[in-house]
Amino acid sequence: MPDPIQLAIIGTGLIVNGKHWPALKRLPKEFRVVAVVNRTRAKAEALADAIKLETRTRPVVYADYREMLAAERPDAVSLALPTSLNPEVTEVALAAGCHVIAEKPIAASLADGARMVAWPGQYGRVLMIAENQRYANGFRRAAQWVAEGVIGRPQVARWSLYAYLGPDNPYYQTAWRQHPAHPGGYLSDGGVHQAAVFRMILGEVETVSAQIVSLRPDLPPADTMSASLRFANGVLGTYAVTYATPGPATPLQIAGDKGVLLAVKDKVELWQAGKVVKTWEEPSPEDGLVAMYEDFSQAIRTGRPPRATAAEALADLRLIVAMLRSGETGRSVRVADMATDVNG
């Protein structure tokens, strides 16, 4: 059995304590956390204490990631930082010989994301973007059923989401989210999740037409979007999301000429003739992050690309930027035209 990958965690905020560390502690044969880094040292110390409780070994704590890289020389790093910092810290870590998994979105601009796509080849290391929805069992099964022709030829897709974010939500208090450098604020921070799912199941989107409004000034720059999508395979889609208003959980719906799929992260239903004829359900441990880190480990050990590559993450962001551009201009936008956009 190979030794665990020596992993450093850079950024010890909410997502690390709530998702990344719970996923990593399920994988002791794959990873050993050797260092944790946060500019607010007390936050890193708290995570180090939690890791010691589980593993009996306390990772070394640092306030400066460059100092950590020089001293510890880990095999890999996991980045959970404000989106605008991803390019800088990723490149420094890759140049130091580390494999990198970085939280989504890939970058605060398409130009920065495009630079990052070239780095795995340039540095000879794995660069993976932590898009956990690519590892959610329900969405993966939906993609499989569509590919197998279970619903025949896909024709229509619909997804309306209430992703309410109120002051009692700890993510609401995050300073970099309240003053976003990334395009669209919450609309891209969360929207890349849905972009990943749409693309994984139905392929690329050719054109988008969107409208965007701000219903709450405390969720800048806007919090609500409704978009029409035309996929390259001819599927017509609608995507609507609001962070301003609470509402029920809603599945992604994909209709074909032989049936309709209703998919959420852990479950898929097949409807035919107005009733459910088949149901598939399987939990995704830690919202897919366990499978995500397993994929990261295998990519490091075997040299094969992970599912959640930088190129896929850039395409997810490009789709959201196209929607944002359409909302700004009031015109339909070709997603491919965003490939050379340097501001979005």
- Res 337: pLDDT: 94
- With the C-alpha atoms ordered 305, 264, 84, 324, is the resulting torsion angle positive or negative? positive
Identify whether 64 is part of a domain: yes
Q: Can you give the CATH number for the domain in which 261 is found?
A: 3.30.360.10
Q: Are residues 140 and 123 in the same domain?
A: no
* Residue 40 counted as domain residue: yes
Is residue 89 in a domain?
yes
The Cα 193–Cα 270 span in angstroms is 23
| 257: exposed, middle or buried (Cβ count in 10 Å: 0-12, 13-18, 19+) | exposed
Tell me whether residue 120 is in a domain: yes
Running along the chain, 344 residues long, what does each successive block of 10 average in pLDDT? 94 96 98 97 97 97 98 98 97 98 97 97 98 98 98 98 92 78 91 98 98 95 97 98 96 98 98 96 97 98 97 98 97 89 46
Task: Please report, as a single letter, which amino acid is at residue 128.
Answer: M
240 and 335 belong to one structural domain: yes
Residue 190 and residue 331 in one domain: yes
**What are 253's strand-pairing partners?**
158, 262
Q: Are residues 275 and 156 located together in one domain of the fold?
A: yes
Q: Which residues contact 118 (CB under 8 A, 6 or more apart)?
A: none
Which CA distances in Å does 288 have to 12, 96, 139, 292? 19, 28, 11, 6
How far is CA 244 from its chain centroid?
21
Provide the domain count of the chain: 2
CA angle 241, 220, 37 (to 5 degrees): 100
Question: Does residue 144 sit within a domain?
Answer: yes
The Cα 109–Cα 93 span in angstroms is: 20
179 and 30 fall within a common domain: no
pLDDT at position 340 is 56
Whether residue 330 sits in one domain with residue 194:
yes
Is residue 193 domain-shared with residue 117, that is, in the same domain?
A: no
Give the Cβ contact number of residue 265 at 10 Å: 21
Instruction: Give DSSP secondary structure letters for 246-257.
Output: ------EEEEET
Could you tell me if 235 and 205 lie in one domain? yes
Alpha-carbon gap, residue 296 to 134, rounded angstroms: 13
List Cα–Cα distances, 133 to 140, 192, 193, 230, 318, in angstroms.
Answer: 9, 9, 6, 22, 17
Which of 181, 172, 94, 140 lies closest to 295, judged by CA?
A: 140
Same domain, residue pair 166 and 57: no
The answer on 294 and 278 residing in a single domain is no
Helix (H) or strand (E) holding 47: helix 41-55
Report yes or no on 312 lying in a domain.
no
103 vs 189: CA distance, rounded Å:
10
- Phi, psi (deg, nearest 5) at residue 267: -155, 145
Q: Is the domain of 42 the same as that of 179? A: no
Residues 65 and 138 placed together within one structural domain of the fold: no
> Does any domain span residue 175?
yes
CATH of the domain at 105: 3.40.50.720
Residue 236, in any domain of the structure: yes
* Predicted TM-score (pTM) of this structure: 0.96
pLDDT of 343? 45
Q: State the amino acid at position 320 in one-letter form.
A: I
Structural domain range at position 63: 5-133+288-307
